[in-house]
Amino acid sequence: MSDKIGNEKTLLITLNIKDLENFLSKIEELGYAIERGTHTMLLDNSEIEEIKLLKDNKVKAIVIAHYITHYYKAIVDANEKKDEELLKSLLEAKYSGEKWYAPVSPVAIITNDDDIVNFLEKYSDDYPYHYIREYVEIYRKKNPNSYKMFSGLLASVLEKLFIGE
């Protein structure tokens, strides 16, 4: 399987997505397979992930997402509590039934697939739970330079696509 989607019509699209799981499930409904790739948990408790969108065993797009999850909420809510209380908060988040991934930066999509581009032009969403907006804002205030990590991963992906490894 080739990751080479870069050519003269390849687009880099950024989109303000609020519910990453909903976005990916809509992509799957269009007939694309999701392959989760490079994933990093950052020291600020956010995560960055490279996600490939495939059709007919070919990479049709690469998504770079920088997000927080329901675990970030548990960490913020347990602010400066004892280790035992933090662990309890994280376990409650794990078994609560609430699972969400909220991007804290615009999501980058690299593609040359017309169907994906058409989908992106119409796509909009909202947070799966109303309180998530507050945690995204908390994250952004605490980490005003967080875009640097995101930019680094995006640059790495673009380099692989257009220059080669």
Centre a 10 Å sphere on the Cβ of residue 38 and count the other Cβ atoms it contains. 12
Out of 8-17, 25-34, 75-84, 100-109, pick the least confident.
Answer: 75-84
DSSP for 76-96 reads HHTTT--HHHHHHHHHHHHHS
Q: Residues 64-105: pLDDT tens digits?
A: 999 999 999 988 888 766 777 777 777 777 778 788 999 999
pLDDT at 151 over 70: no
Measured between alpha carbons, how far apart are the two ends of the chain, in Å?
15
Question: Chain-wide mean pLDDT for the chain?
Answer: 85
Within 7-146, residue ranges assigned H as helices are: 20-29, 70-77, 83-95, 114-122, 132-142
What is the reported pTM?
0.84
List the domain boundaries for the chain. 11-159
Q: Report the DSSP beta bridge partners of residue 54.
A: 33, 59
Q: Residues 117-143: pLDDT tens digits?
A: 999 999 999 999 999 999 999 999 999
pLDDT of 142 reads: 92
